């Protein structure tokens, strides 16, 4: 490992709590090597009563899909993002700006906020490629259900996962 040229990445670190706890030693013994510990179930490992957090040695960052504001920024529409902050009910946008924002919002709804899909769209402007990437992401989410439920519960997760898009904007229990 070469200081400042190496990035150490521990994926699914929640499966090895000792690795999480060892982060403090990396910070003390190799402070110039950045380390990322990632895992979709990491918060469950952190909540375990036997877990000892390396306090003061770990920064938390949560990755989420791009927001519409971020989408505007990466598509070169940062000025529209800033302009949106000035819009109120008493000072609505003019029609041309409204149409542009509506078009971009529809584009965002179709492309979504997953960085790989947005990046592909920006480079190629090819919706078919975006759709293939989105389908691959959806399949990887489905394949990941084993982490979250017993095999007997997969059908319930699958049904919920497939039903959610139709429930947007509705109240559910």
For residue range 61-99, list pLDDT tens digits in order: 777 899 999 999 999 999 999 999 999 999 999 999 999
Give the residue with greater pLDDT, 45 vs 156: 156
- pLDDT, residue 99, reads 95
Phi/psi at 81 (nearest 5 deg)? -60, -45
Give the mean model confidence (pLDDT) for residues 141-148. Answer: 75
The percentage of residues in the chain with a pLDDT greater than 70, rounded to a whole number, is: 90
Residue 1 pLDDT grade (very low, low, confident, very high; cuts 50, 70, 90): low
- pLDDT, residue 170, reads 86
Compute the distance between CA of residue 16 and CA of residue 24 in angstroms, rounded to an integer: 15
Compute the distance between CA of residue 84 and CA of residue 93 in angstroms, rounded to an integer: 8
Length of the chain: 173
Q: Which residues of 62-86 are buried (b: 16+ CB within 10 A; e: fewer)?
A: eeeebeeebbbbebebeebbeeeee
Compute the distance between CA of residue 131 and CA of residue 116 in angstroms, rounded to an integer: 11
Cβ neighbors of 3 (< 8 A, separation 6 or more) are 30, 32, 33
* pLDDT of 41 higher than 80: no
State the pairing for strand pair 35-38/8-11: parallel
- pLDDT, residue 57, reads 64
């Amino acid at each position: 490992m070469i200081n400042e040229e190496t990035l150490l990445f521990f994926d699914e670190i929640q499966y090895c709590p000792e690795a999480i706890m060892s982060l403090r030693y990396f910070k003390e013994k190799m402070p110039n090597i950045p380390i990322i510990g990632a895992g979709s179930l990491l918060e469950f490992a952190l909540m375990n009563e036997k877990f000892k957090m390396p306090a003061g040695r770990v920064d938390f960052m949560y990755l989420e899909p791009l927001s519409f504001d971020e989408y505007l920024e990466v598509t070169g529409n940062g000025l529209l993002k800033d302009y949106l902050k000035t819009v109120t009910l008493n000072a609505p946008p003019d029609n041309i700006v409204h149409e542009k924002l509506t078009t971009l919002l529809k584009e965002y709804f179709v492309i979504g906020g997953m960085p790989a899909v947005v990046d592909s769209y920006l480079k190629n402007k090819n919706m078919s490629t975006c759709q293939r990437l989105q389908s691959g992401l959806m399949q990887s989410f489905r394949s990941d259900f084993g982490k979250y439920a017993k095999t007997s519960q997969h059908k319930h997760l699958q049904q919920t996962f497939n039903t959610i898009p139709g429930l947007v904007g509705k109240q559910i229990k």
